[in-house]
Structure 1
Amino acid sequence: MNARQAPEFPAWPQYDDAERDGLIRALEQGQWWRMGGDEVNSFEREFAEHHGAEHALAVTNGTHALELALQVMGVGPGTEVIVPGFTFISSSQAAQRLGAVTVPVDVDLNTYNIDPAAVAAAITPRTKVIMPVHMAGLIADMDALAKISAETGVAVLQDAAHAHGARWQGKRVGELGSIATFSFQNGKLMTAGEGGAVVFPEGETEKYETAFLRHSCGRPRDDRRYLHQISGSNMRLNEFSASVLRAQLRRLDEQVALRDERWALLSKLLGQIDGVVPQGGDVRADRNSHYMAMFRVPGITEDKRNELVDRLVAAGLPAFAAFRAIYRTDAFWEFGAPDETVEQIAERCPNTDAISQDCIWLHHRTLLAGEPEMHATAEIVAGIVAGA
């Protein structure tokens, strides 16, 4: 491949006759919502089994998955939820919309995952949930977080929106002893445009049943007389989306393996570029699903980082600026913010501030291309960073 030419990457989302057949199957079954069809039920069984969970509940999107999970875990007014400062805003807003206070803590500068020491320091008598986010598919330090949870009685909720098919020391997300949520938004590792899921490990059947009621307006499965048992909302996934997700799930393992192989090469190449530091790993996270190919250019300003992203896009790479620290968004402060200033939170979250300022990520379809495209990608990054 000529390094001066833009590399060609596979399109995303990907689909074939499996999705087409699924959509026709959902169409022709004659019932298009979950209470009358079988696609959602089948997808939930298959997704739970794939992730080692006892139950899975499909919902409208990943943000609703977080909100629903937090609600059945007892989050509401008067409680606090600890989240990483470096994450997508839904991690905090799901708790804030329930009337809880979101408490951002710092992340590890190498993995970009929540720092267990910062979590331990932030726990108060009001803390109800610790929410690690498995950033870019790299599972957070679940050993340390499980220890903190056991010592304090504060439950863990895994935000696994990036971590479809990921593993920690051989264990799948549903085998790590805590509830987890997933997203199926258009850019995610498997998608139906929108969608989400909550997975429940062994021993959490009661919470699963409560979540089912709350996601369906408080109405039992077999209700014919509008006997709404508890307060809820309509978060039900439709049959068409579920049929697409069933097809997407079947090719997930192959795609994860390919991305893992390609990241081993691309991260090595990026690490050889002066001024570029790729996201690190954790040997205990023995299967990384690589939702994003992330790297930092330490020392540059946010404006300069944004210019780099624009130049990478112009050169043909699917590049994006990393998440803004949640406490540096107006949305975070509308309601449910801690009694602190931006500066006070930033002072205890220096790694979050740094990563938010100088980090760039490439869409995971980059990692579905061939080895020549990995070399071409690294050459483009090297040339543009050097030029900056």
Structure 2
Amino acid sequence: MTDQGTENLNLPHWPQFDDKERAGVLRALEQGQWWRITGSEVDAFEEEFGEYHGASHTLAVTNGTHALELALEVLGVGPGTEVIVPAFTFISSSQAAQRLGAVAVPVDVEPETYCIDVVAAEAAVTDRTRAIMPVHMAGHLADMDALSKLSTATGVPLVQDAAHAHGARWKGKRVGELGSIAAFSFQNGKLMTAGEGGAVLFPDAALYEQAFLRHSCGRPREDRSYLHRTSGSNFRLNEFSAAVLRAQLSRLDAQIDTREQRWPLLAGLLAEIPGVTPQGRDARVDRNPYYMAMFRIPGLREQERNQLVDELVARGVPAFAAFRAIYRCDAFWERAAPMETIDDIARRCPNTEEIFRDSIWLHHRTLLGTEEQMHRVAEILAEVVARR
């Protein structure tokens, strides 16, 4: 099966599914209990996903944005508080804090990995900071050694935005073994998907129990008397999505293996194209699932980059423009905005200013292709860049 726009390359489709998903949906249907409180699929998925990531406590939720919001809420994020986020990320990273009434404080990212600059994060810590949110950009883990030291020194907890990082490892440790909360997304384009969905990994039982209450309208699991013990919302995942995610998880490892094999080849080919710089990799990341195959063309203006992306798409390459700097999105300024101007933040974030304008990413299904297809993708990019 191929997407309509990729016939000439015949790249693998996404999402991928087979009889495992079909059997899971039927299993969820026939159990006769389609609600997570009375069904078994969500419970089973939480156990399996948590075990895969080395987490002691896992909570499945409606989507990745809600996963971040819930993680921040149990840490006391709310009006009058601040959350440090990378300036180069998807807008959910900041919106999760802002919807709780907190101020999202953008800081710059590293020019090679596009992950949060720990020195910049340290400079942004105040007595109002309640969380630091590293985003594992494109599956590449942020510097968890330096971030853990910063968290210990300041007393500010980390919330890993791991929406891109299913199955990633840092120096042999899985995401759930890094000692901090981590939030995942299962949106349609993610490394495993049920269309929508999310999960939060917790390092201890107390945070998990509070999160469970808040994700279920403040109601305990065994409650029959509507004893809502805390404020919350309905972030419960449904049984059908959980059944699909169990099947998706079963093939994740093999897909990561393939992408880990293909990226060095594709990155090497891209690096040979004049002006193209692939995303770097910290040697301490010993497993990168590559949610995106990212690269930059330094000096390219934003409109030129966008036109180049359009040309790649027209040639059958699943290419996308990079995320906008969050402070250059109107949505960022609608709620709990910092007491700075766009120009103020831009001056603090020179790497972000360049990366969001000149970087391109290819969907991870590209890296599920053959070695021959990696060569063809690089050839097409070289042709398009040469015309520019």
Q: What is the TM-score of this pair, normalised by structure 1?
A: 0.98
Aligned to 2:150: 148
Question: Within the alignment, does 1:103 sit opposite 2:105 as a pair?
Answer: yes
- Please give the per-residue CA displacement for 1:76-101, whole angstroms capped at 9, x wherever unaligned: 11110000000000000000000000
Aligned to 2:252: 252
CA-CA distance at 1:248 after TM superposition: 0.3
Aligned to 2:211: 211
CA contact (8 A) 1:309 1:360 kept: yes
Question: Within the alignment, does 1:352 sit opposite 2:358 as a pair?
Answer: no
CA–CA distance in 2 between the matches of 1:236 and 1:128? 25
Large movers: runs of 4+ above 4 Å: none
CA-CA distance at 1:162 after TM superposition: 0.1
CA–CA distance in 1 between the matches of 2:166 and 2:344? 34
CA–CA distance in 1 between the matches of 2:57 and 2:254? 24
Q: Give aligned pairs, total.
A: 382
Question: Within the alignment, does 1:65 sit opposite 2:67 as a pair?
Answer: yes
CA–CA distance in 2 between the matches of 1:383 and 1:6? 16
CA-CA distance at 1:28 after TM superposition: 0.1
CA–CA distance in 2 between the matches of 1:51 and 1:207? 18
Question: Within the alignment, does 1:81 sit opposite 2:88 as a pair?
Answer: no
CA–CA distance in 2 between the matches of 1:171 and 1:316? 37
CA–CA distance in 2 between the matches of 1:153 and 1:328? 30
Aligned AA for 1:158? Q
Aligned to 1:291: 291
Aligned to 1:227: 227
**SS of the counterpart of 2:158?**
strand
Question: Within the alignment, does 1:341 sit opposite 2:341 as a pair?
Answer: yes
Question: Within the alignment, does 1:374 sit opposite 2:352 as a pair?
Answer: no
**SS of the counterpart of 2:374?**
helix
CA contact (8 A) 1:96 1:336 kept: yes
Aligned AA for 1:144? A
Aligned AA for 2:122? A
Aligned to 1:183: 185
CA–CA distance in 2 between the matches of 1:103 and 1:179? 19
**SS of the counterpart of 1:373?**
helix
**SS of the counterpart of 1:251?**
helix
CA–CA distance in 2 between the matches of 1:50 and 1:98? 30
CA–CA distance in 1 between the matches of 2:75 and 2:194? 27
Aligned to 1:26: 28
CA-CA distance at 1:106 after TM superposition: 0.2
Aligned to 2:242: 242
CA–CA distance in 2 between the matches of 1:225 and 1:254? 46
Which residue, out of 111, 128, 131, partners 1:129?
A: 131
Q: What is the TM-score of this pair, normalised by structure 2?
A: 0.98
CA-CA distance at 1:140 after TM superposition: 0.3
**SS of the counterpart of 1:145?**
helix
Aligned AA for 1:224? R
CA–CA distance in 1 between the matches of 2:28 and 2:185? 21
CA RMSD of aligned residues (A): 0.7
CA–CA distance in 2 between the matches of 1:52 and 1:122? 31
CA-CA distance at 1:7 after TM superposition: 1.5
* Identical positions, percent: 71
Aligned AA for 2:213? L
Aligned AA for 1:200? F
Aligned to 1:49: 51
Aligned to 1:163: 165
Aligned AA for 2:267? S
CA contact (8 A) 1:215 1:232 kept: yes
CA contact (8 A) 1:6 1:317 kept: no
**SS of the counterpart of 1:217?**
coil
**SS of the counterpart of 1:262?**
helix
Q: Which runs of 5+ in 2 are unaligned?
A: 1-6
Aligned to 1:115: 117
Aligned to 2:306: 306
Aligned to 1:90: 92
CA–CA distance in 2 between the matches of 1:79 and 1:225? 34
CA–CA distance in 1 between the matches of 2:29 and 2:158? 39
- Please give the per-residue CA displacement for 1:47-66, whole angstroms capped at 9, x wherever unaligned: 00000000110000000000
CA–CA distance in 1 between the matches of 2:37 and 2:107? 40
CA–CA distance in 2 between the matches of 1:127 and 1:174? 23
CA-CA distance at 1:335 after TM superposition: 1.3
- Please give the per-residue CA displacement for 1:234-264, whole angstroms capped at 9, x wherever unaligned: 0000000000000000100000010011001
CA–CA distance in 1 between the matches of 2:8 and 2:315? 6
Aligned AA for 2:177? E
**SS of the counterpart of 2:356?**
helix
CA-CA distance at 1:6 after TM superposition: 3.1
